[in-house]
Copies of this chain bind each other. A is one copy, B any other.
Amino acid sequence: MKITHIEHIGIAVKSLEESIAYYEGVLGLKCYAVEEVKEQRVKTAFFMVGQTKIELLESTDPEGPVGKFVEKKGEGVHHVAFATTGLEETLAEVEGKGVMLIDKKPRKGAEGLDIAFLHPKSTHGVLTELCENKNK
């Protein structure tokens, strides 16, 4: 696998509005996009921090993945996403090394990236996303 950088850190929050106010007003970052990802039942807000994005995630459905996360664990880091190339081959490679895949094949995520998640049970506790930007 060839990881180039950390694409984003996904952070589950209760209220996008309140959290955007914190990230802008206290940390001095600038929200450059708000996007709803219906398939994942979340509204997202993006901030650029050097090479890496902060992706805030507010659930639109208590039964969705982020809704359940916040119910169980509260607000906090939800996943870490690494930028890579050759995502489809990479998934086969890591599965061969014993990693449990949540997504067997790449699918479309926010901002048009190809993405796939690895299960935290086989990544030492970190819900791990791999991303490939084929638009570059």
Contacts and interface: CB of A to CB of B under 8 A. Distances in A.
Contacts of A9: 6, 9, 80
A3 B99 contact: no
State which size class the interface on A falls in: 35 or more
A20 to B, nearest CB: 10
B13 A125 contact: yes
Each complex incorporates copies of this chain amounting to 2
Contact of A51 (B1, B52, B99): B52
A97 B49 contact: no
Interface in A100-120: 120
9 contacts: A1-B26, A3-B28, A5-B49, A5-B50, A26-B97, A26-B123, A75-B126, A76-B125, A77-B80
